[in-house]
Amino acid sequence: MIVPQDLKALIVDDNAHARAAMAATLRKLGLAEIDEHTGAASATGAILGTRYDIVFLDWYMPEMTGGALLEILGSPYFPAGKRPPVVMVTAYPNRDTFARARELGVGEILVKPFTVAQVATALGKLVPGGWDLEEEQGAAQVLL
Sorting pLDDT into bands at 50, 70 and 90, what band is 137?
A: very low
Can you say whether residue 28 is alpha, beta or left, with left for phi > 0 and alpha for psi between -120 and 50 degrees?
A: alpha
Task: Give the pLDDT confidence of 76-133 residue by residue, as tens digits.
Answer: 988 878 889 999 999 999 999 999 999 999 999 999 999 999 999 999 899 867 655 4
- pLDDT, residue 3, reads 65
- pLDDT, residue 135, reads 45
Task: Give the pLDDT confidence of 38-61 residue by residue, as tens digits.
Answer: 999 999 999 999 999 999 999 999
Looking at CATH, the fold of the domain delimited by 4-133 is given as Rossmann fold (3.40.50)
